[in-house]
Chains A and B, each alone.
Chain A
Amino acid sequence: MNFSVKLKNLKLKTPLMLASGTWGLGENLNKFLTPKEIRENIGALVSKGISINPKEGNPPPRLFETPSGLINSIGLENPGIKEFKKTYLPKLKSYKVPIIVNLHGEKIEDFIELAEELKEEKIAGLELNISCPNVKKGGLAFSSDPKTVLELVKEIRKIWGNFLAVKLSPMGPVYEIAKICEKAEADAIVVANTYPALAVLNIKPLKILQGGLSGPAIKPLTLRLVYEISKKIKIPVIGCGGIISGKDALEYLLCGAKAFQIGTANLIDPRSALKIIKELKDLKNGLCS
């Protein structure tokens, strides 16, 4: 069965992408998957969020498991764009799978600088993370401010001709933001990032962890978003939220997604991509027969 997908100008061998921040920067990927398994099952690799300067990330604890979910507060630990290009990108390219670099900025100018840095690199595309706070707007998330998102995507579009996706937050004016991304000529949107969540770590004294919730717990919520958004816009929607089986992936595809990303599944088992693609193929074969 031909599983390839075309998202505007980006051709993927399968509709499965590894979501940002759930497979590191590829350092250990080939310890668990052979080059052939990577090429044949993974449509695209979306890098960890890359910022201009290196980030150490948040102090521990960074994780908390909830029923069927995982709260994380990693704090965008990453080596910064210069080190990423020098040390990590060459290895990523050797996997011979389209590389999409997830960009993290604190202001529009940061995203522009990051996109400029990657202009000469042979990468398949960019994914803009708009769930982060915009320092110029007093820390208000980009995703809650449609005007800023419009300006951001337009500015990047001016300098970036290749595939450009925007990863939406599931919170805030999501439908409006989706339409704005289309208007600003993004090639696709990823629906969606993690849900803001909180865990009580200790009762007395009260100790909490705030972070993003992922995993099967959020699947019905994001599936609804994908379903509604894909009816409202014409650019491809990439579903991302709680996919851990081929059946989950199929549900996203049936509800309007053109492709999908897996995240928490990679943390459960680094070979999840293979399992999901196999199950999806079997299910699709069943549907066709």
Chain B
Amino acid sequence: MFKGKVVLNQKESESIYLLGIEASKSILKSFQPGQFLKIKINERMDPLIPRPFTIHALKENTVYILYQVIGKGTKALSKIKKGEIIEFLGPLGKPFPRLKNYLICAGGIGIAGFGFLLQKSMKKRKFYPPEKIFYGARTKTELVRLSFLKNFNIPIEIATDDGSKGYKGFVTDIVEMELKKNPKPVLACGPKKMLKKIAEIGEKYKIKTYLVMETFLACGIGFCKGCVVPLKKGNYAHLCIDGPTFLAEEIEFEFLS
């Protein structure tokens, strides 16, 4: 595991935090969008297993993680103070697929990994910028990092369940409206329900959709075989080394339910 110094751990919404970890540039330079880190919360044995977090952004010698406090692991993480040293393992998993002329669909904390993709896509070398970003949340106050996302000059369309900002309804509704006019690949990250809907829309309009999946995982490096994703062809993929991004049509549909 690598050591890093916490330089930021700030609240972005009621439950979402932005964590900045300063580490050696030689470690950070290999990071790719779509990959994740396993962060050891502290020396305690509970939580025991370091938790996986997608890389949100990278600036100079600091890597940023955007996380939502859900369980005891993220709760412990939210208590970490500036200046503390934490350990992490990574980068783990495969980077996002290299898409051109595509859309991003993010639901809630699912926006986290796309910050780094936007950063990297500005150079238009390995990664290309999306044509549009569709970002949904339950309510306006849960939309985070908007000013950061706006820096990249890519149109952002917002949806909130309660209509407090943007379209009133699910983000998948506005994605579908767009695809009806103009079908193109979608890269999506968010709740399972949203991913399922994106997979259905993909099937309906015959477009490739890529889903960033999530599951509890232990080792993160292919050791334990614990994080399986059932595939349509009958076998299992391991999220930590084969994913976390999968082509929707390859995943056993029931797994998304």
**A91 to B165 CA separation, bound complex (whole angstroms):** 56
Contact among B40, B216, B224, B235 with A64 in the assembled complex (CB-CB below 8 Å): B216
By the criterion CB–CB under 8 Å, are A63 and B216 in contact? yes
Contact among B46, B221, B228 with A60 in the assembled complex (CB-CB below 8 Å): B228
Contact among A27, A56, A269 with B89 in the assembled complex (CB-CB below 8 Å): A269
Q: Is B45 interfacial (CB-CB < 8 Å)?
A: yes
By the criterion CB–CB under 8 Å, are B230 and A62 in contact? no
Q: Is A172 interfacial (CB-CB < 8 Å)?
A: no
For residue B86, give the distance in angstroms from its CB to the closest CB of chain A.
13
By the criterion CB–CB under 8 Å, are A68 and B50 in contact? no
By the criterion CB–CB under 8 Å, are A74 and B224 in contact? yes
By the criterion CB–CB under 8 Å, are A28 and B221 in contact? yes
Give the secondary structure class of A's interface: loop
B1-45 interface (Cβ within 8 A of A):
1, 40, 45
Q: Is B223 interfacial (CB-CB < 8 Å)?
A: yes
Contact with B along A36-72 (1 / 0, CB 8 A): 0000000000000000000011011111110111101
**A77 to B228 CA separation, bound complex (whole angstroms):** 11
* CB-CB nearest in chain B for A54: B235
Q: Is A80 interfacial (CB-CB < 8 Å)?
A: no
For residue B235, give the distance in angstroms from its CB to the closest CB of chain A.
6
By the criterion CB–CB under 8 Å, are B222 and A27 in contact? yes
Interface centre among A68, A70, A267, by most chain B C-beta atoms within 10 angstroms, is A267
Q: Is B184 interfacial (CB-CB < 8 Å)?
A: no
By the criterion CB–CB under 8 Å, are A267 and B49 in contact? yes
**A266 to B225 CA separation, bound complex (whole angstroms):** 13
By the criterion CB–CB under 8 Å, are A244 and B45 in contact? yes
Q: Is A215 interfacial (CB-CB < 8 Å)?
A: yes
Contact among B1, B50, B87, B226 with A74 in the assembled complex (CB-CB below 8 Å): B226
Q: What residues of A have a CB within 8 angstroms of the CB of B89 in the complex? A: 269-270
Q: Is B219 interfacial (CB-CB < 8 Å)?
A: yes
By the criterion CB–CB under 8 Å, are A65 and B47 in contact? yes
**A76 to B221 CA separation, bound complex (whole angstroms):** 18
By the criterion CB–CB under 8 Å, are A67 and B228 in contact? no
Q: What residues of A have a CB within 8 angstroms of the CB of B224 in the complex? A: 21-22, 24, 63, 72, 74, 267
For residue B63, give the distance in angstroms from its CB to the closest CB of chain A.
18
Q: Is B215 interfacial (CB-CB < 8 Å)?
A: yes
Q: Is A31 interfacial (CB-CB < 8 Å)?
A: yes
Q: Is B227 interfacial (CB-CB < 8 Å)?
A: yes
- Total number of A residues with any Cβ neighbor in B under 8 Å: 34
By the criterion CB–CB under 8 Å, are B215 and A56 in contact? no
Contact with A along B214-252 (1 / 0, CB 8 A): 011111011111111110000110000100000000000
For residue B216, give the distance in angstroms from its CB to the closest CB of chain A.
5
Contacts A70-B218, A267-B218, A269-B40: A65 and B223 contacting too (C-beta < 8 A)? no
By the criterion CB–CB under 8 Å, are B230 and A24 in contact? no
Q: Is B148 interfacial (CB-CB < 8 Å)?
A: no
Q: What residues of B have a CB within 8 angstroms of the CB of A24 in the complex? A: 222-225
Contact among B49, B223, B230 with A59 in the assembled complex (CB-CB below 8 Å): B230
* CB-CB nearest in chain A for B217: A63
Q: What residues of B have a CB within 8 angstroms of the CB of A65 in the complex? A: 47-49, 216, 218
**A244 to B44 CA separation, bound complex (whole angstroms):** 12
By the criterion CB–CB under 8 Å, are B48 and A70 in contact? yes
Interface centre among A24, A63, A72, by most chain B C-beta atoms within 10 angstroms, is A63
**A65 to B224 CA separation, bound complex (whole angstroms):** 14
By the criterion CB–CB under 8 Å, are A32 and B228 in contact? no
For residue A205, give the distance in angstroms from its CB to the closest CB of chain B.
14
By the criterion CB–CB under 8 Å, are B219 and A68 in contact? no
* CB-CB nearest in chain A for B220: A267
Q: What residues of A have a CB within 8 angstroms of the CB of B226 in the complex? A: 62-63, 72, 74
Q: What residues of B have a CB within 8 angstroms of the CB of A31 in the complex? A: 221
Q: Is A23 interfacial (CB-CB < 8 Å)?
A: yes
Q: Is A268 interfacial (CB-CB < 8 Å)?
A: yes
A68-93 interface (Cβ within 8 A of B):
68-70, 72, 74, 77
By the criterion CB–CB under 8 Å, are B48 and A22 in contact? no
* CB-CB nearest in chain B for A32: B221
Interface centre among A28, A64, A268, by most chain B C-beta atoms within 10 angstroms, is A268
For residue B25, give the distance in angstroms from its CB to the closest CB of chain A.
20
For residue B227, give the distance in angstroms from its CB to the closest CB of chain A.
7
Q: What residues of A have a CB within 8 angstroms of the CB of B46 in the complex? A: 67-68
Q: Is A264 interfacial (CB-CB < 8 Å)?
A: yes
Given A60-B228, A244-B45, A269-B89, 11 additional A-B pairs, CB 8 A: A22-B223, A31-B221, A59-B230, A60-B255, A63-B216, A65-B48, A67-B46, A68-B46, A77-B228, A269-B87, A270-B89
3 A-B pairs closest in CB distance: A63-B226, A68-B45, A267-B219
Binding site for A on B (CB under 8 A): 1, 40, 45-50, 87, 89, 215-219, 221-230, 235-236, 241, 255
